Structure 1
Amino acid sequence: MRKTALTFLLGALLAGPAAALTCGDTAAGFGAWKREFAQYAAQNGVGARGLAALDSATYATRTINADRNQRSFRYELDEFMRIRGGDTIVAQGRRQIENNRDFFLQLELTYGVPSSIIVAIHGMETGFGNFMGDSNVVSAITTLAYDCRRPAFFTPHALAALQLVDRGAISPNSTGAMHGELGHTQFLPGNILAYGVDGNGDGIVDMTNRADSLYSTANFLRQKGWQTGQSYAEGGPNFRVIQEWNAAGVYQRAIALIASRIDA
């Protein structure tokens, strides 16, 4: 658990020379930006493997198109639930808990987060691991760091992705979601550094491993202030923690609703 890692990265990047990095709205300047970012990454301890991964990264047009066209988060809750398969997630989530009682009991005892919340997130993010994305993680996250829309948010995650390559935690060819999220519950690279947990005890934090991913998810929520036994319904103290997981209001309400139906 490295709770302070992402905070440190954010502070260093916003206060240091990364603030002077160029940005762009098309692929035209991506190569020049990579050369700038390589210098900054090297100054911050990224080694040969991470820098090679950066050098091989390509401008992720699909990622940019998805980032600028996130229509599903504009739907009302009922429509969002229908589109995202809310009823299916509820049914499958109940089976997940029933078939893995010891695992989820230990998870709850360790972090105090209800199993229903964890499986709701797991189901919503990747259909319980059935689709964890097909976008190159390094290309996606560096493209978003280069893009002028939200470089302050994505630049620390781009640096973290290169650090993960250096450590062997991911490879230059690792795939994930459109925005560079990885694994069963779609962690951004910086959040892997900050909240990743070795759930299966093999000495490796691997977000494509179900146990690691679900333990990391529970750890994230706990570190963000989850209060054991308190309400996660909208307006309750733990709903604020759900808001830390995803910024979209309809997504937050869907997670709470799905979890409540699994618990019913």
Structure 2
Amino acid sequence: MIRPLVAAVLASLAALPAAAAPCGNTGAGFNAWKADFAATAQQAGVRKKGLEALAQAQYATRTIAADRGQKSFKYTLDKFMKVRGADAIVSQGRKRLKSNPNFYRTLEAQYGVPAGILLTLHGMETGFGNFMGDSQIVSAIVTLAYDCRRSEFFIPHAIGALMLVDQGSITTGTLGAKHGELGHTQFLPGNALAYGVDATGDGRVDFYNMTDALASTANFLRAKGWQPGKGYQQGQPNFKVIQAWNGATVYQQAIALMAARIDG
């Protein structure tokens, strides 16, 4: 479930005034925009460390290039599965399930999400944690919040990233994907803030710890409406929850097909 304080903060973002400085399609106005956005962030509840991280954020040219150049979601399902290494993900997923069945059974008992889904997401997003990104999360997500293409979508995630800095889950130097996704399953920062789970009980939600990350992923899916014991292929109740994880149809289809092979 979403923590009540976090839910209230995220809900309030819709009512916040837009930053006075306009969005931009180059880095020319980035620093002026950041200065104005700091007031919006502070009003949303971002504190000293988060505001310092915002001030230090750099315009992420690689993020902009990646955002403009996305191609894989235009592939056919067969080509997408091949390019993303579906057979290898399924094989590794089965091995990981066999080596640690109690871990995945515990997650399913608590959240209702089967192992195949969690393992497929883990494999698809980061190769089971082997590569979790090489871009500074705060700079990437703040750049996307400034960029005119999808500013409205990314502003809440930029606020989320700054709040994650405040609470110690990430720092200005923490690395993730080029769109600011973080950890083993590549949460967008606003979702990480809302659905993060301290499954290890160490007092900190660490998305670079596999236990916390997969519990958080299961928590996200359950909160989005996952129905325990129901199917997740196209046309079945839980497929719409996979859609909540990623908006690309070919990605959704691939997740469902690979997960079934792992669970089977």
**Is the contact made by 2:20 and 2:33 (CA closer than 8 Å) also made in structure 1?**
no
**Structure 2 equivalent of residue 208 of structure 1:** 208
Partner residue, 1:261: 261
Question: Per-residue deviation at 1:146?
Answer: 0.2
The answer as to whether partners of 1:5 and 1:193 remain within 8 angstroms in 2 is no
Alpha-carbon distance in structure 1 between the residues aligned to 2:181 and 2:6: 15
Checking the alignment, whether the CA contact within 8 Å between 2:21 and 2:32 is kept in structure 1 is no
Mean alpha-carbon deviation: is it higher for 23-32 or for 157-166? 157-166
Preserved contact between residue 176 and residue 186 of structure 1 (Cα < 8 Å): yes
SS in structure 2 at match of 1:214: helix
Q: Given the superposition, is the C-alpha separation of residues 6 and 203 from structure 1 closer, same or farther in structure 2, using an over 3 Å criterion?
A: closer
CA distance in 2, matches of 1:7, 1:150: 22
1:89 corresponds to which residue?
89
Contact between 2:13 and 2:44, CA under 8 Å: does it hold in 1?
no
Extract unaligned runs of 5+ from structure 2. none
Is 2:64 the counterpart of 1:64? Answer: yes
Q: Compared with structure 1, are the counterparts of its residues 55 and 19 closer, same or farther at alpha carbon in structure 2 (3 Å cutoff)?
A: closer
- Cα distance between partner residues in 1 of 2:208 and 2:195: 15
- Residue 126 of structure 1 and its aligned partner are, at CA, apart by 0.2
Q: Residues 145 and 152 of structure 2 are in contact (CA less than 8 Å); yes or no, is this contact kept in structure 1?
A: yes
Give, in whole Å, the separation in 1 of the partners of 2:45 and 2:3. 19
Quick one: distance in 2 between partners of 1:88 and 1:3? 36
SS in 2 for 1:226: coil
For the residues of structure 2 that align with 1:132 and 1:193, how far apart are their CA atoms?
18
Moved more, 34-43 or 122-131: 34-43
1:219: which partner in 2? 219
1: CA distance, partners of 2:248 / 2:96: 26
Give the total of aligned pairs: 264
Equivalent AA in structure 1 for residue 176 of structure 2: G
Query: Could you tell me whether the CA contact under 8 Å between 1:24 and 1:146 is conserved in 2?
Result: yes
Separation in structure 1 between the aligned mates of residue 173 and residue 41 of structure 2, nearest angstrom: 19
DSSP 3-state at the match of 1:240? helix
Distance apart, 1:12 and its partner CA: 2.5
Partner of 2:117: 117
CA apart distance, 1:19: 6.0
Aligned ranges 1:71-82 → 2 under 5 Å: 71-82=71-82
2 CA distance for matches of 1:5 and 1:186?
Answer: 23
What per-residue deviation string (whole Å, max 9, x for no partner) do you get for residues 119-174 of structure 1?
00000000000000000000000000000011111101101111111111111101
Q: Cα offset for 1:45?
A: 2.5
- The letter for the 1-side match of 2:207 is M
| Partner AA of 1:205 in structure 2 | V
Contact 2:73 2:250 (C-alpha < 8 Å) held by counterparts:
yes
TM-score norm. by structure 1 comes to 0.96
Paired position in structure 1 for 2:15: 15
What is the percent sequence identity of the aligned residues? 62
**Residue identity in the other structure for 1:56:** Q
Q: Structure 2: how far apart are the matches of 1:40 and 1:139? A: 17
Task: Give me the whole-angstrom Cα distance separating, in 2, the residues matched to 1:7 and 1:139.
Answer: 24
Q: Aligned equivalents of 1:79 and 1:2: distance in 2?
A: 36
Q: Which residues in structure 2 correspond to 1:123-162 (within 5 Å)?
A: 123-162=123-162
* CA offsets 1:12-63 (integer angstroms, 9 cap, x no match): 3332212655200000010100001112212222222111111111000111
Match of 1:186 in 2: 186
**Which segments of 5 or more consecutive residues in structure 1 lack a partner in the other structure?**
none
Q: Is the partner of 1:18 in helix, strand or coil? A: coil
Is the CA contact 1:134–1:176 (under 8 Å) kept in the aligned structure 2?
yes
Which one-letter code corresponds to 2:97 in the other structure?
Answer: I
Q: How much has 1:9 moved relative to structure 2? A: 4.2
Q: Please report the TM-score for the alignment, with normalisation by the length of structure 2.
A: 0.96
7 and 150 in structure 1: CA distance in 2 versus 1, 3 angstrom threshold: farther
Residue 201 (structure 1) shift? 1.6
Task: Measure, in 1, the Cα distance between the counterparts of 2:216 and 2:7.
Answer: 17
Tell me how large the CA RMSD over aligned residues is: 1.4
Aligned to 1:251: 251
Give the whole-Å Cα distance in 2 for the aligned partners of 1:5 and 1:177.
27
Letter in 1 for 2:162: L
Q: Is the 8 A contact 2:112 2:227 kept in 1?
A: yes
